[in-house]
Chains A and B, each alone.
Chain A
Amino acid sequence: MQLWTVVAVGAGAFFFFAGTVGLLRFPDSFTRLHALTKADNLGLGLVVLGLLPQVDSVSAGLKLVCIWLLVQLSGATAGQLIARTLRRGESRS
């Protein structure tokens, strides 16, 4: 169980790291957005999966899963909104 947590949280941290590198290095806003949303969803998902065996109660585990789902929802919405604003800005210029 401990090993599972270490591996999963480590993998999650790796995705966050990769996403951050992408955010800093990618050439334009669309690819940067791509890097960021992938890192959020996968990285946080892996961190939550890794932490699940460590919780004391079912409700605490459910809360962790809820946090992941909510972050996914808000991340996806924010990503769509930013991308749409970018597209509008491009067609205007």
Chain B
Amino acid sequence: MTDVLNIGLSALILGLAVWTIVAREAYAAVVGFIAYGLLLTLVWVQLHGIDVALTEAAIGGGLTGALLIGAAARLRGSETTARTERPGTATRWLAAGVSCAVAVALAICVLALPEPAPTLAPEVLANIAVTEVGNPITAVLLAFRAMDTLLEAIVLLFALIGVWSLAPDRAWGGRPGLLQSAGPNGMLAFAARALSPIGVVTGMYVFWIGADHPGGKFQGATILAAMWLLVMMAGLADAPPISRRWLRWLLVAGPLAFIAVGVLGAITAGAFLSYPQGNAKTLILVIEFALMPTLTLVLGLMLLGAPRRGESP
């Protein structure tokens, strides 16, 4: 029974992937991509990768999908002209051939792995007690490979700076996004009022539970950012001008705290980002709590886009 479900799921995903590529309209392709992300979430659940499934649903399907919908809406005007510049048949077949060759090469590599596949999982489980967290994924992300997570947080910040740099000169330092004029008694305002408390609780829960169960700051921050965007879309609150000092401090607070903990480790434990004996859990919590507002703001502001209005609302 499960096999039938798995085969059906795989076939559906492959079909949807092909459809996303051949779809002529950008908007249709984006819708296909979002559905593809949600189906991929089910695959990760089937593979018992609940952490990855949560991330895929929140960031792969939800956040990236919303970003792509915005991009497709902006491109709609120029889409017909872009279609006339389509590359020739030969170029497209060549691209398809190269993509298929890469996919086949990857498949061969995966199938040629020795059985059982080389893994560091036993070593992680053997050393997890030192970090005092219960979820091995969190232990890897914030203790054994903390450097990767630090660089990830910094890359997100750079991405936001890249988005902001697209602002026209007169709007620099202003508020991102369009002014929402939805009435305070509208349907969306009701949904925002009803959903945002639930969403905030869920987001904090996912964040806090990440120490011992699937979850964590990235997934939690995405939920919080979604609630923030919902409130702004309903016209209940306006986006802050990007020139505000508190906003900029919050944006760099997470990575700065992370680096500070890293330097502390270099002084007390002998290596950058290593935690002194017995204090690992506390320091991991400090990093998580500092990163949470930063990630929420970065993800929300990235979806809002470049500043388009002045400072006054």
Question: Which residue numbers of A lie inside 8 Å of B, CB to CB?
Answer: 70, 73-74, 77, 80-81, 84
Contact = CB atoms under 8 A, between A and B. Distances in A.
Interface in B61-113: none
B198 A77 contact: no
Contacts of A70: 195, 198
Interface string B187-202: 1101100110010000
Interface string B221-240: 00000000000000000000
Given A77-B191, A84-B187, 9 more contacts: A70-B195, A70-B198, A73-B191, A73-B194, A73-B195, A74-B191, A77-B188, A77-B190, A81-B187
A81 B188 contact: yes
Interface of B: 187-188, 190-191, 194-195, 198
Nearest to A83: B187
A7 to B, nearest CB: 19
13 contacts: A70-B198, A73-B191, A73-B194, A73-B195, A74-B191, A74-B195, A77-B187, A77-B188, A77-B190, A80-B187, A81-B187, A81-B188, A84-B187
A71 B188 CA distance: 15
A80 B182 CA distance: 14
Contacts of A84: 187
Nearest to A69: B198
